[in-house]
């Protein structure tokens, strides 16, 4: 009989090969499950932990342990991080059941209730001010304008944007295919303004680097000019300040703004899910309470208001 560490490795290989999970997901699951197995080893006082050591009572005690766990000098483990640990454990138990190992029912392990996260997004006038902030015809200015236009018109994740190459799309089309989160491919659409901004930028490029967005102040010896996600973050913050926007803006804020803009203008949530590349509709539903607030404002403004009569 394999011990729990060996079974965990089998599970990670299953996720990599059969489920095509991203390397980052595998790293996180490995860390979360190692924590569980180490805790269980200490709790039952055994060096060689087996699947039979996992009981409903032990899982309950582990959840209490996570909730009380100190991190970074007594900073509590965030509820969302605790949930990630439980999601990994639940997936592991489902795998064990799949290979006919008797374990507690994974479906009985419920996630803790968490406070609904507020979505930070830009209003339409703020978007316009941000997009108009890069001025001039220098390569950096044209590049930065193209980055902002592309982020807002496509809803791309910053990691997806930095991975783009020139060959990914044609300036004659307003769509291209990308490999998103979890290796899933989807079609991305961009606005006419984004197309124009990309055309103006690429027309000014002098290098032969395949990356779509690059830095222009490197030396001739630089083998990779591709912009990093951190650089994109700095660019977005720079122009948010220049536009007089006081919100704490990140590239993901433009993704939120993209989704909110679509929903406010009548797009159905399933279409928004596809455009964002969400695997689950529940992920996309975080935007509905934002649009619900907008509908509430309309209701308060127009419902049962007396019209003036002459």
Catalytic residue list: 157, 181, 252, 255, 278, 287
State both tokens at 186.
Answer: 């989807």
Strands (E), 85-193: 175-179, 185-189
Q: How far is CA 24 from the centre of its chain?
A: 12
Element (H, E) at 97: helix 79-98
Closest-CA residue to 92 (of 13, 153, 170): 13
Give the burial class of 43: count Cβ atoms within 10 A of its Cβ; 0-12 exposed, 13-18 middle, 19 or more buried.
Answer: middle
CA 10, 11, 17, 23 torsion-angle sign: negative
The region, left, alpha or beta by phi > 0 then psi within -120 to 50, assigned to residue 303 is beta
How far apart CA 178 and CA 183 sit, in angstroms, is: 9
How far apart CA 156 and CA 158 sit, in angstroms, is: 6
How far apart CA 228 and CA 159 sit, in angstroms, is: 8
How far apart CA 194 and CA 147 sit, in angstroms, is: 8
CB 299 within 8 A of CB 208: no
Q: 75: helix, coil or strand? A: strand
CB 117 within 8 A of CB 286: yes
How far apart CA 7 and CA 50 sit, in angstroms, is: 9
């Amino acid at each position: 009989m394999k011990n729990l560490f060996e079974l965990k490795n089998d599970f990670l290989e299953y996720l990599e090969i059969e489920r095509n999970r991203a390397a980052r997901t595998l790293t996180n699951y490995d860390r979360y499950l190692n924590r569980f197995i180490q805790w269980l080893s200490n709790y039952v006082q055994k060096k060689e932990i087996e699947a039979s050591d996992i009981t409903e009572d032990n899982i309950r005690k582990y959840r209490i342990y996570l909730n009380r766990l100190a991190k970074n000098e007594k900073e509590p483990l965030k509820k969302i991080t605790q949930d990630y640990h439980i999601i990994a454990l639940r997936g592991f138990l489902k795998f064990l059941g799949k290979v006919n190992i008797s374990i507690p029912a994974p479906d009985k392990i419920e996630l803790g209730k968490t406070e609904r996260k507020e979505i930070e997004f830009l209003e339409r006038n703020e978007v316009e001010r941000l997009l108009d902030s890069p001025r001039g015809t220098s390569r950096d200015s044209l590049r930065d304008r193209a980055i902002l236009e592309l982020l807002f018109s496509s809803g791309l994740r910053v990691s997806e944007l930095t991975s783009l190459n020139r060959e990914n799309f044609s300036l004659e089309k307003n769509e291209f295919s990308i490999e998103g989160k979890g290796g899933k491919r989807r079609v991305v659409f961009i606005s006419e303004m984004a197309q124009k901004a990309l055309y103006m930028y690429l027309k000014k490029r002098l290098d032969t680097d395949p990356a779509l967005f690059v830095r222009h102040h490197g030396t001739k010896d630089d083998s990779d000019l591709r912009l990093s996600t951190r650089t994109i973050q700095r660019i977005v913050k720079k122009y948010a300040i220049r536009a007089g926007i006081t919100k704490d803006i990140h590239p993901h804020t433009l993704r939120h703004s993209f989704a909110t803009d679509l929903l406010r203008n009548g797009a159905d949530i399933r279409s928004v899910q596809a455009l964002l590349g969400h695997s689950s509709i529940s992920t996309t539903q975080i935007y509905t309470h934002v649009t619900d607030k907008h509908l509430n404002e309309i209701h308060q403004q127009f419902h049962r208001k007396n019209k003036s009569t002459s």
